[in-house]
Structure 1
Amino acid sequence: MAKENNKKRKKDKLSEADIERMELLQRANEKVGKQLSINTEKGNLEEVDELRELIGKEFEDPEEKYNIYYRGIRRLLMDFLPKGQEFKEARDIIYDEKNIFLNLGKKKSDNNGIRKSDGRMTFQPVMNEILDVIVQWVSESQNPFDLYREFYELNERHGYGHEKYDKTSLSIAKSMYNLSEKDQDLD
């Protein structure tokens, strides 16, 4: 009862301006990301969703993402990487580096063989960045070791790391990287 009396006394001591400020602060906490604005053309109050306006054009376009991934990234890799069972392990290592980048550093080796992420759903700028690397590779080299090195270094630049392989796959990955460096030295 004493607490209620103290609150009442404090409230009585507040000026009208203080009460108005408190009411405004309470209303501000009611709707996060929404703002009241005066429409000067119509002369009325409108509620503006600030979050939507901030994001605005940043929304991802599902159709464009589909085209970038399936008609760009995937199609070019399928068309220009070596085909056949004898090249499967090398292709898989290249795909692993690509997927680490598309999944912003998530690796299968972090979760017992499950990435827990899907590169087809990554952000469009990320897809565009790796597509640019692939297009440049197709136009300049088409050497799979060079593509592996490009993906490897892309992941290094972003601090994503790499898959942890068994000894055999690790030696193949290292050899692919080293062979691409030798090719670079010859140019």
Structure 2
Amino acid sequence: MENNKKTKKQEELSEADIERLELLQKANEKVGRQLSISTEDGSLHEIDELKQLIGKEFENPEEKYNIYYRGIRKLLMDYLPKGADFKEVREIIYDEKNVFLNLGKRKSDNNGIRKSDGRMTYQPVMNEILDIVIRWVAESQNPFDIYREFYELNERHGYGHEEYDKTTLSVAKAMKILSEKK
């Protein structure tokens, strides 16, 4: 009989335990909704997380346009060396930039087609490149320095680099070496 009393006591739940279980049940009833307790009167109310999530603006197309065209692209075009003699240097720098903007996708992986568009990447990724370009314009404007910055950025993220023919590869290696001599 004493064993029976212990079992009944264990089966009986306190009011606090029952309330906790009810809260847990309510919390699991609806996906995308969250229970919240009002700090003013202690009442429960639901927050529809999905509606709030959809209402938020993740990416702003106008801002992305400005970052890419009026920021990254314009600054690089204005401050990288101009002319046919520097075309290969500019293309190598743009390739490193584009590998990062495309989260590691390289043209050399798909016979010269990247299969991705850096202008449509995530805004934080664009902002990271823009910060590097702005710092480069303010500090050195040396094309080898911006190449090194982009190269090291891709290294940190494990993206790799474009694969070039022997001539372009030797230019890229020379750029990296020249950027390290200071």
TM-score, with length taken from structure 2? 0.75
Q: Distance in 2 between matches of 1:45 and 1:129?
A: 40
After TM superposition, the runs of 4+ consecutive aligned structure 1 residues lying more than 3 A away are: 36-41, 43-47, 49-53, 55-58
Share of identical aligned residues, percent?
Answer: 71
| Paired position in structure 2 for 1:104 | 103
- Aligned equivalents of 1:56, 1:160: Cα separation in 2: 33
CA RMSD of aligned residues (A): 3.0
Secondary structure at the aligned position of 2:161 is classed as coil
**Count of matched residue pairs:** 158
- Unmatched segments (≥5 aa) in structure 2: 1-21
Report the CA distance shift for 1:63/1:45 in structure 2 as closer, same or farther (over 3 A): same
CA shift digits 1:149-180 (9 cap, x unpaired): 11000110111100011100000000000011
Residue in structure 2 matched with residue 60 of structure 1 by the alignment: 59
Which stretches in structure 1 are left out of the alignment for 5+ residues?
1-20
Measure how far apart 1:35 and its partner are. Answer: 2.0
Partner of 1:147: 146
Distance 1:91 1:101 in 2: 16
2:93 aligns with 94
2:48 maps to a residue whose letter is V
* SS of match in other structure, 2:113: coil
Which secondary structure state, in structure 2, belongs to the residue aligned with residue 165 of structure 1?
coil
Shift of 1:37: 5.2
Aligned partners of 1:37 and 1:48 also within 8 Å: no
Give the counterpart letter for 2:134 in structure 1.
Answer: V
What's the counterpart of residue 155 of structure 2? 156
Q: 1:91 to 1:61 in 2, by over 3 A?
A: same
Which one-letter code corresponds to 2:86 in the other structure? F
User: Following the alignment from structure 1 to structure 2, what is the Cα–Cα distance between the partners of residues 171 and 133?
Assistant: 25
* 2-structure distance, mates of 1:137, 1:38: 48
Task: Identify the residue that residue 18 of structure 2 maps to in structure 1.
Answer: none
- Structure-1 separation of matches of 2:116 and 2:49: 30
* Counterpart position of 1:49: 49
